[in-house]
Amino acid sequence: MTVKSDMTVLRPLGGLEMYFAARNHIGIYRAVVVTARYIGASLTNPGVDGRSVSPQFVSSLSAVVAAHPMLRVGILDESTSRASFVHVRSINIQDYISVVEVDCATEEGLNLELARLQASAHDEPWVDIESRPPWRIVIVRNKSEKLGISEDVLFSFHHSAVDGKSGMLFHESLLTELRARAGSKPQDSPEYILSFPKAPEIPEAQEDSVPFSFSPRFVAALLWKDLVPAMFKPAPQPVWSGKAISFSAPYITRILHLEIPAEHVAILRQACRAHKTTLTGLFHSLAFASLVASLPPEEAPAFSCGTPISLLKHRRDTQHDRFSRQETLRLLLSTLDHAISPAAVSRMQAALGANDESLGTEIWGAAGDIRGQLADRVDTLPRDDTAATVKFVRDFHAYWAVKDGKPRRNSWECSNIGAFTNPSGKGDQLHISRVMFSNGAPVAGAAIGVNVASVEGSGLTITLSWQRDIVEEKVMAKLKTTLEQLLKNFFDTGQWLI
């Protein structure tokens, strides 16, 4: 380990943290982005210089950095299997904020521009991460006065330190700090250099924070999977998963977005309750139906999809980890895969062809199946969870390297980070009206990301993300239009029709 004389090692990266660190170093995954629209106050100084940031924003962001230790740590030796989090003693907050001006007269135009900027944010590599904590802020200021005062804040971060739900927590913390400073006299010159002479206490690694355990049956299944030669196992079911993994393909993220207004979100929630499923289960099912409608039948014999699961509720309460009893930015994450059989694909194809009530039967049936699988998994957590096994991988760089040229495991991943709740007293106060969440180009992951975020009492945003050329543009365009048509017809008629 190469430790510079002024660096203090806080702890080694845990298994899941190394999983993401190796991906970043190889160049096959860079950032997660959670964007929030702030309404009711200006975060920039449009009267002076549209690209300068208000003193209140600087001081508010500084307070958030001070409150969340993972925003002030670097990653040392990411290229090795001995990477560590290190103490960063000072941060120039100006290095972490940029302002982009756009001129959009309509909300649709603004959201399209934000999707483009968010895709670009995914593609920007991190530099000097041992001395510069890997996160950044982009404030998007719309110059058009037709939409009123609003600015979108893009929060990009390295996945080894922070997960998607923590990205939502970042905006909650920032909004709280901004509200606390609303109406106060701004500083003439805010403090841009933040000093942290004392090394912070940071959250424990996931395997130390969550009390994982294994049953003999689970261990036997792992041994069968990893040690028994393929010739003694049934051939795996082929699934559609885009083009094969390619480390040499350009790392370019593409994003399409769908907006569901508040009144329609309420309709979907009510319908999900009536059919004993959830929005996550439903969006999986709609992605399934839309992909079947978008792909030639011979290319999609079956599918496999995944759902990330937050392990925040499963952290143990220990005196060694004070963050086990409070909210802070951190990484606590698992995932569950769902197999969609050839028989299920055939039924969906037939229902799409009939375009009658049988389509609703298939959509709600698939949504209920996935919800049931998730409920069963959550009920048994943290026992027999594959997330606990990553700590046994000794070299994640080698783990990822052998995947180059291989088929992907999953067709898509549906990640729902939930609904943002504004503090009470929304009214004319500064508040968040929209959240957009996305994962970057999944070079060695699912072919498509279906990313979901919403604001309580407001709308819901779905982003479809993929790596350019790995899934054809025409397939993604058809996927989006089919999703939109299914949703429109459901809101108009109460039936799933295309």
Structural domains present in the chain: 9-184 (3.30.559.10), 239-493 (3.30.559.30)
**pLDDT of 231:** 66
The letter for the amino acid at 482 is T
Residue 38 and residue 161: Cα distance in Å, rounded? 25
pLDDT band, very low/low/confident/very high, at 196 (cuts 50, 70, 90): very high
**pLDDT of 327:** 87
Structure tokens at 130: 């041992």
**pLDDT of 200:** 95
Q: Read off the pLDDT of each residue in 283-310 and give the average, rounded to a whole number.
A: 98
pLDDT band, very low/low/confident/very high, at 7 (cuts 50, 70, 90): confident
Q: Read off the pLDDT of each residue in 169-188 and give the average, rounded to a whole number.
A: 88
**pLDDT of 1:** 46
Mean model confidence pLDDT for the chain:
93
**Cβ pair 61, 176 in contact under 8 A:** no
pLDDT at position 324 over 60: no
**Cβ pair 460, 265 in contact under 8 A:** yes
Query: Do β-strands 97-102 and 135-142 pair in parallel, antiparallel, or remain unpaired?
Result: parallel
- Does the reported pTM lie above 0.85? yes
**pLDDT of 45:** 81
pLDDT at position 36 over 70: yes
pLDDT at position 187 over 50: yes
pLDDT at position 106 over 90: yes
Residue 323 and residue 113: Cα distance in Å, rounded? 37
pLDDT band, very low/low/confident/very high, at 52 (cuts 50, 70, 90): confident
- The b-or-e profile of 132-144 (16+ CB within 10 A means b, else e) is bbbbbbbbbbbee
**pLDDT of 150:** 80
**pLDDT of 11:** 98
**pLDDT of 188:** 67
Structure tokens at 66: 């001070």
pLDDT at position 29 over 80: yes
**Sequence-distant (≥ 6) Cβ neighbours of residue 100 within 8 angstroms:** 117, 138, 139, 140, 141
Of all residues in the chain, the percent with pLDDT exceeding 90 is 84
pLDDT band, very low/low/confident/very high, at 426 (cuts 50, 70, 90): low
Residue 310 and residue 456: Cα distance in Å, rounded? 19
pLDDT band, very low/low/confident/very high, at 182 (cuts 50, 70, 90): confident
**pLDDT of 234:** 80
Q: Read off the pLDDT of each residue in 461-489 and give the average, rounded to a whole number.
A: 98
Residue 345 and residue 365: Cα distance in Å, rounded? 12
Q: Read off the pLDDT of each residue in 342-356 and give the average, rounded to a whole number.
A: 97
pLDDT at position 131 over 60: yes
Q: Read off the pLDDT of each residue in 245-254 and give the average, rounded to a whole number.
A: 97
Q: Read off the pLDDT of each residue in 138-162 and give the average, rounded to a whole number.
A: 92
